[in-house]
Structure 1
């Protein structure tokens, strides 16, 4: 028949796409219903087989990959039933059993004979399919023209006595397409394997038999060859396995790029799964390389591992084998890679006792199907200490199935009627509305008012009315990149407010104009729009313990203004930006002994003495200083006073050179980072010194 003949007869042609997890589960359920029947007597056994198989599919990545094809899924169901719920544990055994079922048992057990007596033994079918698979792999193809496949079979048949004459090569191909269960016709002119896994399995077998392992090793860094390499290890004899794994390690050691080195070393480690017998020295070498990479311990390591691709997923340990830091990085690694196997790894960590690990799980939501992620991971998950972000309508509509959420961020321009159901269902105690231009007032807060304690509004340009903000008992408020025009006087009615951060440019010149209640404990202000902001009115909040004041070159705080901080007897944490500071003595401040933690950003001239800083802040326990020196002259920096501050970190950036004095008196815990052209240090310091030339 010619291509498109169904369409000409008023049929609709459809392409069969891979099944997703929900499709597979539905298929398995219906297969068991058809195989066992619908009677009440059959129900217990039917349900037991179905649930055991579904559980196995969730745990076994290789099996799940096969099951995305309806034919393969039916084959797995049959194999699972035939073996009384016990499928082969080994990946290689599983593929071998599947091939036998497809090549031989499928027809024999259905009593389907070969047409016109044309029969090909299982071994001969395997050999033909192996050669075709290896030819496709070598040529970087997953599909071939049937005419080329026929020519390949013609060359093979003379060496396969009793199968068929070379002139019947097209009949042999037709038999493989119709009866093997492994080949299919995407179009009348082409052929491919029904699943890529079988191409790699059979091709790897052909490569081993043809002694082409050096060619396999040569392509090992290509992700498309990953399964070929691993299965070649499984098919090989002990000495062949040792040669191939050793080659992977050597190529990895010599690789010029970290990503390739990581991929090859991890591929060698993953291949050990298929190496039942292997020289101990080779196994030990592969395990040692992997131990340097696994488990990941931070985001940087997670990013590096994820670059190696899905091979990493088979090597990631489970939650019981990891500390909290490793567990968080492991979750991040899986989320970066994605896919079904990664999803199953995330499921293992959904009930982890550490909140930061659970946060990493939640952060992966946007990388997977919204509804399924909710149903299988987020629904019923403990959300204490976890921040949940939604950024699509689908995620927003799914909030009702999650339950209580402690901290919720809605990112995007969603109308009030879309957000309201989710807020009513989750009742967050912390809410962030980000980049939303769809609401003009804060009536939406009524939906979560009973529990809401913290509110962050960021880049919500359409907000014009703050009058409903007092409907919630807000304790912490953050306004960032918000419009300047609206009346903010309703903020004065927040009697429970203890912390506020306003990181938008505001037109006030003195703090007396800020409509804030007197019980504030934490105040953060971004740069003012005025040229000379002052601190008049700071005494209105005598209970302040934390004060963050930002400035820039256009709106510097006058150093004389800082004398007004003496009106804050409980202030222990100060973060302030200064500009054009000739010397720290220029502050002209009385001692402020109550301050324990100081973060200071300043522009300095040619001399800086931290002893002057100690005169003002005699009881500092924590110092973080960022000093800018914009001069070609040498900056003289006296740092010995840092010895009395247990936790000190200073960064000095200079367009000229920096000369340190007093550095030998510093303890090892002190950190000084210097970015300059020249750093004269006459003696080796005992503190940690970073130099960027």
Structure 2
């Protein structure tokens, strides 16, 4: 969208006000339909105070005062001013009233004026005519705003239109300083120190559990050494656009950093632990170092402003002047007055709003409104907002121009890269098992493809890191399910960590696992009930003090502050942030412990009261896993109980179905009721609904309709759901759709390859898809090898990182006719000459222009 030619009100108001008669000289405004603007302008009538020559001079000043980047070449300024003065002059000849003008709004009112002077701009160049039209809209905006300010009657009659005009004025006001070429010396000095502090603050990442078995191990690791470029896909993938060929409109899976290229505003979704915060850290550090990759060159020179929502969720979105204070940045008190506002005004901001799901659901609408206003006032700044998938509805910020991305599950190459990096980083600790790390790594790399449970869990950095830590801790013996993983982690952290590290005298407090866990559960539960992601240190100590009398083993161990410090320093589950606040190392840890405490306290009614709220979803799942059979039945029956309507009811019922995978014992009647009452909900009517249905998990497979009895359109939606469920039964279900002719359906089946065991999916799905018109996506070396084993395909879509040599070896030279590249190979394309039948090279439009393409190969983008 082209930015408008804008004028700040500080420079526009003195000029625009001269276009109107003073209030005391204006006619009495008593007409029901408003006053004719022809009677209000200062340049018409028997003895107008403003002549046409003065109007032309005003127009020249307006042209000359417009802010960069749309300032005209000097030779065009006089012709544009002449046309602008003629266009404004016509206001005195039209029968438009002030009410009608405000109701039209600046754009339509400007269009009305232009149509009244046809051909006035015929002598202007194309660029000058574009400039005039947009400047006229801006002048009309200030004119209407001036009318509203001097006549409260207009605001009363047209409140929504008046409010919108005031919002648009806010956008123009930031232009007052936008033309400044560089920061002041004071700002520049502070920005250099601020950049260093960002690198220091965010260039560390905690890999869950990496320090656990060994003494003196660091609590975190260099982001440079451990950052893994994750994958992302646009949430409109597969929906297509009118006129597109079915299946051809699928957006490929891109690296997350590359997917951000070319987008100014992005809402990034991902499950807990998917790497959203790590991506935010990487962007902040890379921008602060001026070390962003070429595809993100548009972000170079921008100032990263990291805004973790948990820091201000209860107070609301801070104003720019309060950004640093709200997130408790160590340099907050040293920032020059108005510095953040100047950065945003000059369009140099890199806004990183992390964790919308950390705010209570009741507060998110207000946060959205505040963010929308900020982005309207300070347009031109890059903004990334992150959230869990179910935290906000689809298109939550679409009206503000935000594109939606989802972090994709890690593929086998990424999992292998993470495991390798984890074990490489572990060599830098002071552990005694370095000689076994290669064995641990190789055993884990071999186990994950073999065991479905592990394969399903090791799809994001959090769970993959936890699996690595437990694998090392247990020398290759891994628990299988999510609850079992967390139970093993609690045992490792709360019971075995210090003895096995020979940390016996770190402090005077000696607590066993039971007491440690109970106190941590109390803290987690308090934060859950208070809807907080962190507690001030004083409140955390007070909470510990409140519960000490009920835990006999803590008697004589020290004062509450000593016991809290023991939990903070010795368990590895808490961390202290600046400004003396404490939080859990990850939200999922907090949810796990809070759920266990809720069951212990019998707080089932509390859980059910909030079950429709997205931030309680993980708590409910873990509560079901912890619950005894009677409690489990009560929770699940409560999710199905009447009393909620619309989306709240649907969310609760689908949550009941999703909880079944965590149940250890449940009466058959409740189990049957859940299946019965949710069966009709698994017939999604849109691709977006089909996509969101995938979060329910494997239980959905038991409720889906017979795939042989549905239309191609419904089959496509079912495939969208099932390809997002990592389960052996999903492959069996999808196999029943593989012989259909629908290209849209075949494209979705091919697109789902990355979510399953490569060889099995290739054998049961990919090998049976009709190749006519279908691009087969390849995201890693395993899929490339499997496709070659199938004899290759004529159309291949490269959606993973490969070198030309790898593609030359992996692609079929005789088969390939169409190649679609989603990644920049950073090399000339002359190597494509090895494919004699290649006729078409399709390049993602977000990539740099390719070079060296052999003659005769058509390039599409």
State the TM-score, normalizing by the size of structure 2: 0.41
TM-score scaled to structure 1, two decimals? 0.50
Structure 1 or 2: more helix by fraction: 2
Specify which structure has the higher proportion of strand: 1
- Whose RCO is larger (CA < 8 A, sep 6+)? 2
